Structure 1
Amino acid sequence: MATYDYLYRAPLMVSMRRARTRFLRDQEIFCDGRYRPLEGDMVWRHRRTRSLARHLHAWTFYYHLRPFGEEHDRQILDLLIRILREWRAVVGLPPTRIPMSYHDETTAQRTIALTCLIKDYAELLTSAQRDTVLEIIREGAALLVSEEFHSSGTNHGMYQDLALLAAAPFLEDGERTAELAHSRLTDYFETSFTGDGIHREQSPEYHCLVTSHIRRYVQAIADERPETATRLRRLLESAEPYALLSISPLGAFAPVSDVTSTPVLATGYARSFSSEEYRFAVTQGSQGNPPSLHQLIAEDTGVAVYRADWRDPDSLYLYFSAAYNADYHKHSDDLSLYLVHRGLELIREAGPNGYQMEDPYTVYAFSSFAHNTLIVDGAGLPRIEPDAQHKVGLVSVPTRSGTPFAVRGRQSRFTGVEHHRQVSVHQPKRQGSQSVRIEDTITAEQLHDYDLLWHFGPEVVAELDGTTVRIADRHGSAVATMRFTSQTQLTLSMVRGQTEPQIQGWYFPQMGRPMPAQTVIVSLSASDAIVHTDIDLR
């Protein structure tokens, strides 16, 4: 019989022991990276950040309180049941005034955590305690089966259906519920990837998150649903090239969409694929075999990636995005570019600040102003736009000797303005490093003020000289030169850590932690214009 116990988290024993001690001694729970006081039932009443509220109401703190088979297990269980009853008394049933308590994914994660609890403590639960846990599991499941509550086509919906599979043994109509979950889950897995094998939610992290769940799901259903398992294995094979090339020479995913700067090796994504090539990418070449794949041009998705040399950590890495495949996790990053050379982020994205939309830095992080994109008349693109996915795309460009990589992206989401960006890599004729040429072609019927933004990484220093930007590392050694040319007059300016009139020149090494970063703004006034950006690498 299929088991979904892999959904239950297993923290390190040392951190669990510490959390169990503080839970009993200090009435604290380890949640969202910190210890939080229970304060009676006030833990459920305080206003929280979106992230913390999701973790609290999802009961993710439970996994640090799993039983050890020792005398303190009974005390921990009794306290867990007490705070679960307090949670239910404070929150009630939906609709509720407590934010995030019945969020779509939060409800799923709480249901998973409570099925873990009821299995972990099966021998210690009294009849009344078991009834309390079962009641809340069943209330959650009643929401999760509802089509109105189900977040169809998203990773949140995936978790909802995985939660139903975990909860099915505890439900009166468990078999029917499990069939519904299998049906919705299989449909999601088979429709959430593009023809290139890339997850539609714009993010390498979510790509690996979902493929990891597919892999574990296939293992769980292989005997009972062999045909489905076979189809999903083929999907996994097509998904690996993007995961592989999304890892930069720095050992982290390219910071596009909601991707953080955490090394892949420090996350669960390091186990998303088991090939020696993926291991090589994750470990920055210390283990595994170097991949033979050096570029991926995914026209159906709108993503192109180039990696010059897997064996040389100082070689060129480039990630170009002209992708709009889903609204979830979409940023206003149409035609944005990320570039690494000599182990330094020369051109980077701001990265995510989180999901607190009342925070102006979060609004900035989602906006065009935080990406290497076009601004028209002082305005960027909306993050999402109904029926606009066809307005963004990418095609391969025929290459010749000395040009190993060339693509052309387009976006027509600005009213009356079309933007094309061609990106090509050029080999040196003699000894030396490669160069990158970016050709921005902007067309419109009316005169507009255009700004092209270029954000520099935190480990480099950019110096502006007319229409040239010289880029050095922190020790002053030259690493690249950017030259901007056009038949239209260009004006260049540099900002760093600006807050007025528009937030500009920031990046986020962690969510919620804005740090100043240099940004060059290439300004011009025209209807039609072509701007060449030549990046000579040293």
Structure 2
Amino acid sequence: MIFKNKKNKKTIEYAKKIIDNKLIVHPLWGHVEIKDGIDWKQDPFNNGTWCYYLHSLSSINYLMNAYEDEKKSVYIDKAKEIIKSWEEANNSSEKSVSKYAWKDHSTANRVVAIIYFWSIYINSELYEEEFEHQLILLLEKHGEFLYADRNYNFRNNHGVYQDRALIELSTIFPQISNSQLWYEKAVERLLTYVNKFVSEKGVHRENSSSYHILMLRLLREIDNFLSYHGKQISKLRNTIFKMEEYLAYIVKPNGIVPMTGDSGPDSVRFIHMSEIKNPKMLYVRSKGKKGEKPVKEIVYEDDGVAIFKDTLKKKKELYIYFTASFHSLAHKHADDLSFLLTIGDTDFFVDSGKYNYQENDEYRKYFRSTLAHNSVTVDRKTYELKSAQLRKSKVIKYGINHDYNYVVGIHELYPGVKIERTLIYLKKMSSVLIHDKLQSSKTHTYSQIFNIGKDVEVTSLTKKKILLKSTADEKEIELLQVNHVTEYKHYFGEEAPIAGWQSSKFNEKYPINQLRFSNKSDNLEYKTIINLEPNSDSGIKNYVLKTANGNKYTVICKNGESHTFSV
């Protein structure tokens, strides 16, 4: 067993283009014409991510996938040509034509691609012992590079790709003199990563639902590889089990994960049921046919995440996600105290998506900012995402009750400003309360921001009463501001200032509605109501807060009834 990229519907098409000197390194970009060999210095899309894929030799994966389907030696011959060309241009980290050649991620992925090629090449009619020897020497050079601590990425998941490459390299080629040292180092680093970036409850702390899935699958691949070769790391297996359970809770009823941090709308249907070990994840993946049903509401207090699920009228599924988590910089957005809300197949309040990884791109800056998340912005600017901010955001209180659930989070990510948000879901009233307390010794402009899903129409009846209607199923909800609102802004795909955008595909964006409610003060409160059944008499028209003996919220319903809840 070796690691290899899975085939897709266009594998053969891509491989044939590469044979025809039309280089493809990833489906996100088109092909690049090859003239007189590959130019390893090129950056045709002005995009560092494309360069990483180029130097990962990802094109070899398409060629080897195609060979396994068609058994045509032309694919092997082309892959051999690419490897030789790359080595001639980038013989070592000191002598390479591109800064992307010997980077953590590209070097690790290149090892996996070359071993995939080697596994097919040694049994092919094109096999030459001399070239195999050359390949092993090249892999040995890669192993020494990956082994050196100075080249290892301790900051994020790139290090795990390095661990995977060293584990595979040392296992497949035990005859290399330092292979055992490589293996031991890789396992040590892998466990260090798991202890740092995966919590005790199985939450991947790189701030992204998509990367939770990515790392779950990568760790499972490593575990399967080790098991096949008679090795096992018990800590790794236990971590995978817990990560599966967390995924069972955060996934929306439609099987899509929330687009938190650098995420896209990834689906759990790509996880095969035979791979799943956790019974709660199995229940979700099998749509209730197997496994154990997860509870509807759960709060990961130490990880800063709350998930509330319920069934509304007409059997529509409600999903609420709340975050107050700043455990690392990896794939982090300025989304602390933000929430997401989905009913059925309609995302009413949404996250931005990642857009791309070009940090100088003005839209990338926007997508990572507080402006693109359902939280509070101070002085119309985002807070800084830097290491000094770590752990300045957290859940401080929560409760799960028969009639209502709540979660309270705080952060002090803006200098001199303390922000506290309480989110309460009132089950019988089918309503959500949001209470924001903003405290500072100085006067600021505080903007409460709501980003609305692309399938939702917005009707502003007043600057304090907004109707949101799904174009998918005509489901309607109501947003009310109890407090005074000095300024109300409604944006839709604006470019100056950038506002009202979402991205669900890499390097692509589309306009969405964004609502901003702004007031100016030193200390300020926002009291917001979201009625999920706005035409019901049990819906809320107002609420008041008393803090004499703890926080008590009294809500006044449209039918005149009042109810009090302690938080």
Aligned 8 A contact 1:242 1:296 in 2: no
Please give the per-residue CA displacement for 1:191-239, whole angstroms capped at 9, x wherever unaligned.
321232211111222223223333343344459887x633333333332
For the 8 Å contact 1:245–1:307, the answer to whether it is kept is: no
Q: CA offset at residue 9 of structure 1?
A: 1.6
Q: 8 Å contact 2:89–2:97 — kept in the other structure?
A: no
Equivalent position of 1:273 in the other structure: 276
Unpaired runs of 5+ residues, structure 2, are 534-567
For residues 247-396 of structure 1, what are the structure 2 equivalents within 5 Å?
247-265=251-269, 267-268=270-271, 273-275=276-278, 277-282=280-285, 285=287, 288=290, 291-309=293-311, 314-382=316-384, 384-396=385-397
Which residue in 2 is equivalent to 1:437? 433
The residue matched to 1:138 in structure 2 has which SS? helix
TM-superposed deviation, 1:309: 4.0
Secondary structure of the residue that 2:184 maps to in structure 1? helix
- For residues 152 and 125 of structure 1, the distance between their equivalents in structure 2, rounded to whole angstroms, comes to 38
Q: Cα gap change, 1:85/1:221 in structure 2, threshold over 3 Å: closer, same or farther? A: closer
**Cα drift, residue 505 of structure 1:** 0.6
Q: C-alpha separation between the residues in 2 aligned to 1:325 and 1:60? A: 32
Shift of 1:93: 2.7
Q: Pairwise mapping of residues 43-58 of structure 1 onto structure 2 (< 5 A)?
A: 43-47=39-43, 48=45, 49-58=47-56
Q: Find the partner of 1:31 among 16, 25, 30.
A: 25
Task: Provide the TM-score with structure 2 as the length reference.
Answer: 0.85
> What does 1:55-454 align with in structure 2 at a 5 Å threshold?
55-66=53-64, 67-68=67-68, 72-73=72-73, 75-95=74-94, 96-123=96-123, 124-152=126-154, 154-168=156-170, 169-170=172-173, 171-222=176-227, 229-265=233-269, 267-268=270-271, 273-275=276-278, 277-282=280-285, 285=287, 288=290, 291-309=293-311, 314-382=316-384, 384-398=385-399, 401-403=402-404, 405-428=405-428, 434-454=430-450
Q: Cα–Cα, structure 1 residues 72 and 218, in superposed 2: closer, same or farther, change >3 Å? A: closer
Pair 1:229–1:93, CA change in 2 (3 A)? closer
Shift of 1:514: 1.2
- Partners of 2:365 and 2:501 in 1: CA distance: 12
Structure 1 match to 2:468: 471
Unaligned 5+ residue runs, structure 1?
none
Change (3 A) 1:424 1:136: same
User: Counterpart of 2:362 in structure 1: which amino acid?
Assistant: P
Q: Distance in 1 between matches of 2:199 and 2:179?
A: 33
Matched, 1:11 2:7: yes
- Distance in 1 of aligned mates of 2:512 and 2:69: 51
Structure 2 residue 458 is the aligned partner of structure 1 residue 458: no
CA distance in 2, matches of 1:101, 1:313: 54
User: Over aligned residue pairs, what C-alpha RMSD do you find?
Assistant: 2.6
Residue type at the aligned position of 2:76:
L
Amino acid at match of 2:145: L
TM-score, normalising length from structure 1? 0.89
Per-residue CA deviations over 1:510-530 (Å, capped at 9, x if unaligned) read 121111110000100011111
| 1:497 positional shift | 0.9
Whole-angstrom distance in 1 between the partners of 2:85 and 2:386? 42
Does residue 506 of the first structure (1) align with residue 501 of the second (2)? yes
310 and 154 in structure 1: CA distance in 2 versus 1, 3 angstrom threshold: farther
Asked whether the equivalents of residues 244 and 278 of structure 2 are also in contact (C-alpha less than 8 Å), the reply is no
SS of residue paired to 2:207: coil
Cα distance in 2, alignment partners of residues 185 and 240 from structure 1: 18
8 A Cα contact 2:210 2:259, kept in partner: no
Measured in 2, the distance between the counterparts of 1:196 and 1:127 equals 50
CA offset digits 1:300-328 (Å, max 9, x no partner): 11111111149987221011110111111
Give structure 1 regions of 4+ aligned residues with deviation exceeding 6 angstroms.
223-226, 269-272, 310-313
Quick check: 2:297–2:400 contact (8 Å CA) kept in 1?
no
Give SS of 1:40's match. Answer: coil
> Is 2:339–2:349's contact at 8 Å kept on the other side of the alignment?
yes
Q: What is the count of residue pairs matched by the alignment?
A: 520
Query: Aligned with 1:345: secondary structure?
Result: strand
1:39 shift after superposition: 2.7
Moved more, 474-483 or 99-108: 474-483
Q: Give the drift of 1:399.
A: 5.2
Q: Deviations over 1:404-442 (max 9, x none)?
A: x2100100011110000111110225xxxx111111110
1:41 to 32, 37, 43: 37
Change (3 A) 1:401 1:268: closer
Identity of aligned residues (%): 19
CA contact (8 A) 1:111 1:167 kept: yes
Separation of aligned partners in 1, 2:397 and 2:213: 25
Asked if structure 1 preserves the Cα contact closer than 8 Å seen for 2:254 and 2:344, the reply is: no
Q: Which amino acid aligns with 2:478?
A: T
- Pair 311,536 (structure 1): closer, same or farther in 2 beyond 3 Å: closer
Does 121-130 or 507-516 show the bigger shift? 121-130
Letter in 2 for 1:514: K
- Change in Cα spacing, 1:71 to 1:181, as seen in structure 2 (3 Å) is closer
Change (3 A) 1:458 1:313: farther
Write the distance in 1 (CA, Å) between the matches of 2:277 and 2:210: 16
